[in-house]
A = this chain, B = another copy of it.
Amino acid sequence: MIFFARRLHQQIIEKNSHLCIGLDVSPEALNDESQSIDKVIDHSIKVIDATFDLAVCYKPNFAFFERWGADGFKWLENIVDYINGKNILIADAKRGDIGNTAQQYAESIFDHFGFDAVTLSPYMGSDSIKPFIENPEKGVFILCRTSNSSAAELQDLQTGTGLLYEQVTKLSVELNKNDNVGLVVGATAPSEIKKIRELAPDLPLLIPGIGAQGGDLEKSMQYGNANGDAIINISRGIIFAGDKSSKAIRAATQNYLNQMQRIMNG
C-alpha cells in the first residue's frame, strides 16, 4: 500500500513536474454553438493525449460534466478509464455533507468512478471529511483559502485564534493521520500560501488560480514547495491555448512546465 501523499510525491519526482491540468471543457469555451457533447468529449481526449507525460494530475471539475446529466457522467467514467492510472486523478467536486451522505460520496468518487483524490469543503466540520480519509491510498484536498475574489468574505474572518482559513489548516493537520490530507490554496493569495505552509509543513497543496484568474506562479511554487509538495493547477491557460490544437496545447503545457522547473532550480 502506498499512502496518497507518498504516491503524489513519487509522481512529482518521476515526471519532474508539479503540473495539474483542469479538465473543464464547455461548448462556450470551444465556441461551439451546436452545444454538442461529442465536441467537448473529443477536446478532453485531445488534451489528455497531448499532455499525459507532462502532467502529474488531471482535475476534472464535476460541474462541467454534470451539466450534461447522465451523458456527462458517462463521459467522466470514460475519462477515468482512458487515463488508466497513468496520472493521479483528482475529482474537483468540493463535497461536504453529513457523515452518512459523505460515505455515499466517498463510494461514488473512489469506488464507482475510481478517482485517487477529491476536493472537499470544510464548512460542516470533521464528520464531513472522515469518510473520505479512511483509506490511506485515497486523498483529499480541503478548501482552505480559495482563489476567487469573494474568498475573503468568510475565509479571512478573525476567529480569536487566527483567521478562519488558519483554523481550517489546523483542523486539516489534525485529521491527517493517514498521510492523505491536502489543502486547496489559491495562487491569487501568495502571502496566505506562505502562512498555510508554516502551519501545515507536510500537507500537499493544490494551487489553482494561475492563468485566467491571475495568480502568481513564482510565489506559489516557492512558498508551496518550501516543505511538502505543491501541485499547480492550470485549466484554461492550457486546454484552450492558442488555436486549441494538440500542438498549441502541448506547447503551452511545456511552457508552464519550463517555468516551474526554472523556479524550482533557481
Question: Could you tell me if A150 and B125 are in contact, using CB atoms closer than 8 angstroms?
Answer: yes
Bound-state Cα–Cα, A116 to B61, Å:
23
Question: Which B residues lie within 8 Å of A100 (CB)?
Answer: 212
Among A50-58, A102-110, A133-141, A251-259, the stretch in contact with B = A102-110
Question: Could you tell me if B73 and A70 are in contact, using CB atoms closer than 8 angstroms?
Answer: yes
Question: Could you tell me if A67 and B104 are in contact, using CB atoms closer than 8 angstroms?
Answer: yes
Question: Could you tell me if A69 and B77 are in contact, using CB atoms closer than 8 angstroms?
Answer: yes
Bound-state Cα–Cα, A121 to B142, Å:
13
Question: Could you tell me if A150 and B123 are in contact, using CB atoms closer than 8 angstroms?
Answer: no
Question: Which B residues lie within 8 Å of A150 (CB)?
Answer: 124-128
Interface membership of A36, Cβ < 8 A: no
Interface membership of A191, Cβ < 8 A: no
Question: Which B residues lie within 8 Å of A122 (CB)?
Answer: 123, 154
Question: Could you tell me if B70 and A71 are in contact, using CB atoms closer than 8 angstroms?
Answer: yes
Interface membership of A97, Cβ < 8 A: yes
Interface membership of A157, Cβ < 8 A: yes
Question: Could you tell me if A70 and B67 are in contact, using CB atoms closer than 8 angstroms?
Answer: no
B-contacting residues, A67-82, CB 8 Å: 67-74, 76-77
Interface membership of A46, Cβ < 8 A: no
Interface membership of A99, Cβ < 8 A: yes
**Given the known A-B contacts A70-B71, A94-B97, are A158 and B159 also in contact in the complex, defined by CB atoms under 8 Å?**
yes
Which B-chain residue is minimally distant from A111 (CB atoms)?
Answer: B67
Interface centre among A95, A98, A146, A159 (most CB of B within 10 A): A98
Shortest CB distance A218–B (Å): 22
Which B-chain residue is minimally distant from A63 (CB atoms)?
Answer: B104
Question: Could you tell me if B73 and A123 are in contact, using CB atoms closer than 8 angstroms?
Answer: no
| Binary CB contact string for chain A from 23 to 55 against chain B (1 if under 8 A, 0 otherwise) | 010100000000000000000000000000000
Instruction: Report which of B97, B123, B160 forms a contact with A63, defined as CB distance below 8 A.
Output: B97
Which B-chain residue is minimally distant from A97 (CB atoms)?
Answer: B94
Shortest CB distance A192–B (Å): 14
| Binary CB contact string for chain A from 141 to 161 against chain B (1 if under 8 A, 0 otherwise) | 001001111111111011110
Interface membership of A168, Cβ < 8 A: yes
Interface membership of A96, Cβ < 8 A: yes
Interface membership of A112, Cβ < 8 A: yes
Bound-state Cα–Cα, A148 to B124, Å:
7
Which B-chain residue is minimally distant from A103 (CB atoms)?
Answer: B63
